[in-house]
Amino acid sequence: MLNVLRPGVKFMDYVVVKGLGGGGMSYVWLTKRLSSGELFVVKEPIIKEEDDQVTKINIEKIRHEANVLRVVRHENIVNLVDAFEVLRTVSNVNLRPVIMVLEYIDGPSLDSYARGRILDKNEVLNLMKQLCDAVSFIHKHNVIHRDIKPRNILLRKSNVVKLIDFGTSRYYYDQPISNEAVISPGGYTAPEQRRFISTPQSDIWSLGAVLYFLVTGRDPEHDMPGYPDHVIATPDPRRYNKDVDYRIVKVIQKAMNPVMSNRYLTVDDLLEDLIGYGVGAAKTIEAPISLVIKGVKYDVLSDIIIIGRGDDVDSTRVQYQGDAALLEIRDDNKYISKRHCIIFRNSDKWFIKDLGSLNKTAVYRDGNWIEVYRGYKEESPPFELKDGDVVALAYDAKKGPYLQMLVKFNPHA
């Protein structure tokens, strides 16, 4: 391993104290700021002289993680202090790995803290509230973590939750490896991620799996016959904790439904059932269709929805003009066209058409992305939608979906 840092090395205003460990992608060091004595964590990509491809991927994952952490600053997410490039020559090739300086979290992982234990209900709810707040926040910034598990959740004093490890997350088209399948052991990975699809509902599965872990002290994998390819039943924590609250059971089972569109539509919905009004509370939905974008559900009171980019909106806005709804999405990168696509109802069926966008529309169906597109400035033929379809607003065959939108119908409206 030909890495830059080692104990005693000084760089900028820091000195490396000791190694904290690492995995296949990166190595982590405890460092001290020379001017103040404060402790920080430094993360650098693992450089392998014998494997250029792995080295490049490791470098890109750290670069990607730094980019994402600049966007998602939240009290329950590890804080990025600094990130900078260094020059490293390996086999006569100049590399520029990114070194990240992160806040030091002097506490255990949730895995080591809770494994083999059954936590008090109030403690469980407190931990889940903080974790859900963090995940809801990243979804609103179009970030999908894809690897939420007890080992990637650290605890500070007073059990303050810190979500870490964004190296395999998705953020628009910014990802270190195109169409990468992110899979972790223990049952924390949503089944669809093995099929190279990740949506906010994939993170919601992981939240349900973490909740199961907190009330049983066990991984959910062995309580799911057929996991991951053909899940027969969702896990029931009462097998290992007969005193678990029934509403917690219901939240786990809905969050970990094998069909991603049958899970909670948003993290906020999960949290409401967990600590708010309780599972099974009546929720009146009058709108014929709901669209979930960046972790927020929009109930649309129209049979015609024109979707496109809005340059003067903060995030997403629904307005009505005559019989049609205009759904405008802020997109500073401008991959979404101003009039990108249209969703409409004909009799009892719903359809989608691309409106001649520059960067395509696609629908995820049966393990594949289906392009709904004819060409730039040419409307596509209508494509029939099914309840629970995921629509990509801008799609690239190599990079995958740019912005994903979940579609849910209300047949009674």
Indicate whether 234 belongs to any domain.
Answer: yes
Indicate whether 3 belongs to any domain.
Answer: no
Pick the last residue of a domain from 103, 129, 164.
103
Q: CB burial class (10 A; 0-12, 13-18, 19+) of residue 153?
A: buried
Q: Are residues 260 and 370 in the same domain?
A: no
Query: What pLDDT shows up at residue 297?
Result: 95
Domain boundaries, position 99: 10-103
Q: Which residue has the tokens 């993360």?
A: 43
Question: How distant, in Å, are the alpha carbons of 69, 215, 244 from that of 122?
Answer: 30, 11, 12
Q: Are residues 236 and 367 in the same domain?
A: no
DSSP 304-345: EEEEEE-TT-SSEEEEEETTEEEEEE--TT--S-TT-EEEEE
For 156, phi then psi, to 5°, come to -90, -175
DSSP 210-259: HHHHHHHSS-SGGGSTTTTTS--S---GGGT-TTS-HHHHHHHHHHT-SS
| Dihedral sign from CA coordinates of 135, 140, 141, 147 | positive
Instruction: Give residue 404's identity as a one-letter amino acid code.
Output: Q
Q: Are residues 397 and 255 in the same domain?
A: no
DSSP 345-386: EETTEEEEEEBS-SS-EEEEETTEEEEE--BTTBBPPPEE--
Q: Are residues 132 and 266 in the same domain?
A: yes
Query: What pLDDT shows up at residue 179?
Result: 61
Q: Are residues 170 and 198 in the same domain?
A: yes
Q: Are residues 115 and 263 in the same domain?
A: yes
For 409, phi then psi, to 5°, come to -100, 150
Query: What pLDDT shows up at residue 176?
Result: 61
Is the distance from CB of 327 to CB of 300 less than 8 angstroms? Answer: yes
Indicate whether 281 belongs to any domain.
Answer: no
Mean pLDDT across the chain, nearest whole number?
Answer: 91
Indicate whether 5 belongs to any domain.
Answer: no
Question: How distant, in Å, are the alpha carbons of 151, 188, 221, 400 from that of 184?
Answer: 11, 7, 11, 21
**Tens digits of residue pLDDT in 335-367:** 999 999 999 999 999 999 999 999 999 999 888
Asked if pLDDT for residue 189 goes beyond 80, the answer is yes
Of all residues in the chain, the percent with pLDDT exceeding 70 is 93
Q: Are residues 48 and 138 in the same domain?
A: no
Pick the last residue of a domain from 76, 103, 130.
103
Asked if pLDDT for residue 385 goes beyond 50, the answer is yes
Is the distance from CB of 135 to CB of 203 less than 8 angstroms? Answer: yes
Query: What pLDDT shows up at residue 279?
Result: 42
Asked if pLDDT for residue 100 goes beyond 50, the answer is yes
Indicate whether 150 belongs to any domain.
Answer: yes
Indicate whether 2 belongs to any domain.
Answer: no
**Selection from 21, 285, 37 nearest residue 151 by Cα:** 21
**Tens digits of residue pLDDT in 231-286:** 888 999 999 999 999 999 999 999 999 999 999 999 999 999 999 754 444 455 58
Pick the last residue of a domain from 276, 301, 326.
276
Question: How distant, in Å, are the alpha carbons of 143, 181, 377 from that of 198?
Answer: 11, 9, 29
Q: Which one is predicted more confidently, 94 or 381?
A: 381
Q: Are residues 242 and 140 in the same domain?
A: yes
Q: Are residues 85 and 118 in the same domain?
A: no
Indicate whether 4 belongs to any domain.
Answer: no
**Tokens matching residue 193:** 């991620």
Q: What is the CATH number of the domain that holds 346?
A: 2.60.200.20
Q: What is the CATH number of the domain that holds 84?
A: 3.30.200.20
Angle (nearest 5°) at CA 96 between 90 and 100: 120
Of 108-112, 175-179, 305-309, least confident by mean pLDDT is 175-179
Q: Are residues 87 and 172 in the same domain?
A: no
**Tens digits of residue pLDDT in 292-332:** 999 999 999 999 999 999 999 988 999 999 999 999 999 99
Indicate whether 282 belongs to any domain.
Answer: no
Q: Are residues 256 and 318 in the same domain?
A: no
Span 140-168, average pLDDT? 95
Q: What is the DSSP letter of 157?
A: G
Query: What pLDDT shows up at residue 280?
Result: 44
Query: What pLDDT shows up at residue 291?
Result: 97
**Tokens matching residue 310:** 């809005």
Q: State the pLDDT confidence band at 56, using cuts at 50, 70 and 90.
A: confident
Strands (E), 36-104: 39-45, 80-85, 88-90, 93-95, 98-103
Q: Are residues 144 and 272 in the same domain?
A: yes
Considering its fold, how many domains does the chain have in total? 3
Asked if pLDDT for residue 23 goes beyond 80, the answer is no
